[in-house]
Structure 1
């Protein structure tokens, strides 16, 4: 049974839970089993927020991450909170602008310009979609085409072009990083 665990972490209002739902939908459409759990502070914006995906070809029997294969960190508030769950095989992707204290340890960490890229596209609110594209390219968690289909299906149609551009920018960002 092949399994993996992914944590999307940052602060409330960054679209982390949406990103996790988008990836979960794409993986489910490909026949994978996915359990999702969310944790967030009871504020609408700014509090610590995270969403975990436990993905399996068999039964995903426990929804909480215990050993992270991938972690996406979009805000300083979440930078150190999950380090004990990382292993030497883990890949941590951090927003270069919003995460100053990049997690350190016996795992691979990349600081990438997610927010800067989204701002360059005209709207920093698609930072999560840029990061999802980079995760797709670097982690090879899900093929890009079904993931983009899921992005477009789960976001407002009036933002389709922006989300398509954000996802493509994230893919390109991930493809230019050394493996």
Structure 2
């Protein structure tokens, strides 16, 4: 049974664990089995942080990531932390502003303006939602609608419009990258 492994990585305070929970909820709602694991340094902001999803159509044979299909890096703190889990099949998405050390290898790596886009929308704190939109479009793991529903269900109502715009901007960014 095929599994898909996804890692959200960066530094504490970037909403990585929330992004992973949002995607896990959307995938579980679509009938997929999802195992999530988190790791972070014992500082509230700035330390290495990551959340992994192992996704399967049946039971996942192992709940921890061993070979990443998708890697999202939002901060230089995580730039080299996943090198041993990447292969030719991997897609690596990095924030063009906050990641200066882009992993190199036989995989595809894209530098995308996640932070810049979030700032242009009025709040850099939605960088994770912009990145989630791009990951959604590029991975094809789940249609955008269930992910947007998860975003709206798991974030404050007062940020609904901002999160909708951030997710849409990420989707658009990815479509432009593929074209």
Q: TM class, shorter-chain normalised?
A: over 0.9
Q: Which residue does the alignment assign to 1:4?
A: 4
Find the residue that maps to 1:64 and give its secondary structure: coil
Matches for 1:29-68 after TM superposition, within 5 Å: 29-68=29-68
Residue-by-residue CA offset, 1:40-79 (whole Å, 9 max, x unaligned): 0011100000000000001023221000000000000100
- List, as ranges, runs of 4+ consecutive aligned residues in structure 1 with deviation greater than 2 Å: none
Structure 2 unmatched ranges of 5 or more? none
Deviation at 1:24, TM superposition (A): 0.1
TM-score (norm: length of structure 2): 0.98
- TM-score, L = length of structure 1: 0.98
CA RMSD in angstroms comes to: 0.8
Alignment-derived partner of residue 91 in structure 1: 91
- d(CA) in 1 for partners of 2:78, 2:153: 28
Question: Quick one: distance in 2 between partners of 1:112 and 1:12?
Answer: 20
Indicate yes or no: 2:124 matched with 1:152.
no
Q: How does 1:1-179 map to 2 (within 5 A)?
A: 1-178=1-178
1:157 Cα shift? 0.4
Deviates more, 1:62-71 or 1:162-171: 62-71
Count of residues paired in the alignment: 179
- Structure 1 alignment gaps of length 5 or more: none
Residues 69-106 of structure 1: per-residue CA shift (max 9 Å, x gap): 00000000100110110110100000000000000001
Distance 1:10 1:95 in 2: 10
Tell me the CA shift for residue 141 of structure 1. Answer: 1.6
